Amino acid sequence: MKEIAQQITSWHQASERAAVATVIRVAGSAPRPVGARLALSSSGEFAGSVSGGCVENTVIQEAEQVLQDEQPRRLRFGITQEMSWEVGLACGGTIDVLVQLADPPIWAAAAQALEQEQPRFLLTVVGGDKQLGEQAVVEPGRIPADFPFPEAIPAAQDSASRAELVCMASGVEVLVEPLLPPPHLIVFGAVHAAIPLSRMAKTVGFRVTIADPRSRLANRDRFPDADQILVKWPQKALAGLRVDGRTAIAILTHDPKIDEPALTGALETEAFYIGAIGSRGTHAERHERLARLGLAAGQLQRVHGPIGLDLGGRSAEELALSILAEIVAVRNGRSAGFLQSEGGI
């Protein structure tokens, strides 16, 4: 969303108009989720995707028509036996797409909220007899006077982390999309595997913080992709960081002097993911020591250890991939496994 909002705003600043296509409903299997977007400028440049490629040409053609007549339209794409070789979704699903003219004030407000990490909601009327495409960017807890369907606002408060289609009593459908700060990955331990982990996490949209008291390891030369590098011990690093339900913590040093304070501090937070490096034996011994320090068994069960999914890899890049894969799985509510090899990581 951030990249699309910035791109649309950039076009508007260059005196170009833009049309934007948004996936508003998914049925069955589909390559892109609700909220996926494709934007097209009046000069023919486009960004984003609504289907991964299979209906992009048709959507672009519809967006070109919107740029001409300025009329929003709702489209449906799917695949049947008869249309197997025509435009459709090869995966067998169905998607509804709203194509509309991009309103400069709306997209400027969305881009600003995302850039400044101000929590907001983007509301879009996507179904009903009237006002198709009407939009508002709203602040949590506030109802804008000019938005025609204020009953959608309470639904926005419940849509914490993903786009959701809300049906009003009047039959109007409103797409509620949270404009939230990026998820945050805190890595304790500026070790070799942390370098590709930082790079990969940035690629999938995480803000990344590296924390390690060893300046020879924790520096910009080694971690050019990190948003923040803290040359601090875990307690001091955590004291200065906001850690909430959108935060993942990976503990990687293999040094109990760093790992265990980091783990103890992490368990006092609301982080959605806490993972610690080490073999199964190391993890069991760590549990015993922390239990003797007073940590309850329920707290320790929050820790993913050995860290990472069982991808069978051993290079730093493969280990980083296994860790990030587990973090993404947990964030998306999927079951996450552990590395199954005898030695762990």
User: Domain ranges in the chain?
Assistant: 2-179, 184-331
Is there a cis peptide before residue 148, judged by omega within 30 degrees of 0? Answer: no
Q: Can you tell me the mean pLDDT for 125-139?
A: 85
Q: How far apart are CA 332 and CA 260, in angstroms?
A: 27
Comparing 260 with 39, which gets the higher pLDDT? 39
| Tens of pLDDT, residues 297-307 | 677 788 898 89
| Tens of pLDDT, residues 160-178 | 567 888 887 778 888 989 8
Q: What strand order describes the sheet that includes 94-101? A: 46-48, 37-41, 18-27, 94-101, 73-77
Confidence (pTM): 0.76
Q: How far apart are CA 161 and CA 257, in angstroms?
A: 35
- The amino acid occupying position 278 is G
Q: Can you tell me the mean pLDDT for 102-109?
A: 96
Q: Can you tell me the mean pLDDT for 325-337?
A: 82
What pLDDT score was predicted for residue 221?
A: 96
CB atoms within 10 A of CB 213: 18
Q: How far apart are CA 226 and CA 224, in angstroms?
A: 6
DSSP codes joined into one string, 183-221: PEEEEE---TTHHHHHHHHHHTT-EEEEE-S-TTTSSTT
Question: What is the torsional sign of CA 116, 108, 71, 172?
Answer: positive
Low-confidence winner among 189-198, 253-262, 297-306 (lowest mean pLDDT) = 297-306
Q: Please report how many Cα atoms fall inside a 13 Å half-sphere around the Cα of residue 197, on the Cβ side.
A: 32
DSSP codes joined into one string, 31-80: SS-TT-EEEEETTS-EEE-SSTTSSHHHHHHHHHHHHHH---EEEEE---
CATH 3.40.50.300 is right for the domain spanning 184-331:
no
What pLDDT score was predicted for residue 339?
A: 41
> Which residues, including other chains, have CB under 8 Å from residue 4's CB and lie 6 or more apart?
20, 37, 39, 47, 48
What pLDDT score was predicted for residue 326?
A: 96
What pLDDT score was predicted for residue 341?
A: 36
| Tens of pLDDT, residues 13-64 | 999 999 999 999 888 766 778 899 999 999 999 999 988 777 888 999 999 9
Q: How far apart are CA 199 and CA 201, in angstroms?
A: 6
- With a pLDDT cut of 90, the percent of the chain lying above it is 54
